[in-house]
Amino acid sequence: MIILAGMIGVGKTTYTSQLAEVLGTQAFFEPVDNNPILDKYYEDPDKYGFALQIYFLNKRFKSIKEAYKENNNILDRSIYEDALFTYINTLQGSISQEEYNIYLELLENMMEEISELPKKAPDLLIYLDGSFEHIMSNIEKRGRSYEQPTAENGLLDYYRLLHSHYQGWYEDYDHSPKLRISTDNLDINKPEDWDKVYQIISEKMAELGLEN
């Protein structure tokens, strides 16, 4: 099992798709397009912040349980990363301290369930890093209207706060081996850039004794 991690807009879905195709394995994707709460959250985070995080936590718990039952798979975001988003919403006041405590207790219960599964942890986390400017450019290019920052919606501050906490999250992550890839100067739709990325991942997999 390989899990991808990184900021909104850094390219996790694209990297996951291409890596799954090359490795001939299944990809599990973050539930975005059919998410009934996500666009409402961007319109009114104070009202929908807690509901969104519970929705994501439930879906990621389901995905990782399904993934752990298979021999080979890749997730474009996982339950291990989810608490960061809830923490950022708490810092911004979109989630109350009481709601945050409820969330953490639920997450702890879910992690105990995961620990009882035959496979205890991912084999590798790949963290996609990128500058704030690069990520904002990606968000603009993919054109989801509810993700675009305006003077009224405060999303720029949210993105900046989230981005500022990601490096610390990666440094603290200790559930599995991990690999950091800087994405600023890479376009993996170009074969030469994808070859560079895949070589880095292949070398790490070989180091860990994972078949590729």
Query: What's the confidence (pLDDT) of residue 42?
Result: 85
Domains of the chain by residue range: 2-185
Confidence of residue 146 (pLDDT cuts 50, 70, 90): confident
Q: So what CATH class is 2-185?
A: alpha beta
Confidence of residue 33 (pLDDT cuts 50, 70, 90): low
Pick the more confident residue, 40 or 178. 178
Q: Residue 2: is its pLDDT beyond 60?
A: yes
Query: What's the confidence (pLDDT) of residue 157?
Result: 92
Element (H, E) at 129: strand 124-129
Query: What's the confidence (pLDDT) of residue 70?
Result: 74
Other C-beta atoms closer than 10 Å to the C-beta of 118 total 6
- What are 150-154's contacts with CB under 8 Å, separation 24+? 153/42, 153/43, 154/45
Instruction: Report the mean per-residue pLDDT for the chain.
Output: 91
Q: Which residues pair with 5 in a beta bridge?
A: 127
Query: What's the confidence (pLDDT) of residue 72?
Result: 83
pLDDT, tens digit, 9 for 90 and up, residues 78-136: 889 989 999 999 999 999 999 999 999 999 999 888 878 777 789 999 999 999 999 99
Other C-beta atoms closer than 10 Å to the C-beta of 15 total 23
pLDDT, tens digit, 9 for 90 and up, residues 174-190: 999 999 999 999 999 99
From 39, 44, 46, 76, the catalytic residue: 76
- pTM (predicted TM-score): 0.90
Residue 29 three-state SS: coil
Other C-beta atoms closer than 10 Å to the C-beta of 154 total 14
**Residue in 83, 75, 74 with CA at minimum distance from that of residue 56:** 83
172 is catalytic: no
Q: Are strands 73-75 and 124-129 parallel, antiparallel or unpaired?
A: unpaired
Confidence of residue 51 (pLDDT cuts 50, 70, 90): very high
- Mean pLDDT check: name the lowest of 40-54, 113-127, 191-205: 113-127
Q: What tokens does 78 get? A: 């996982």
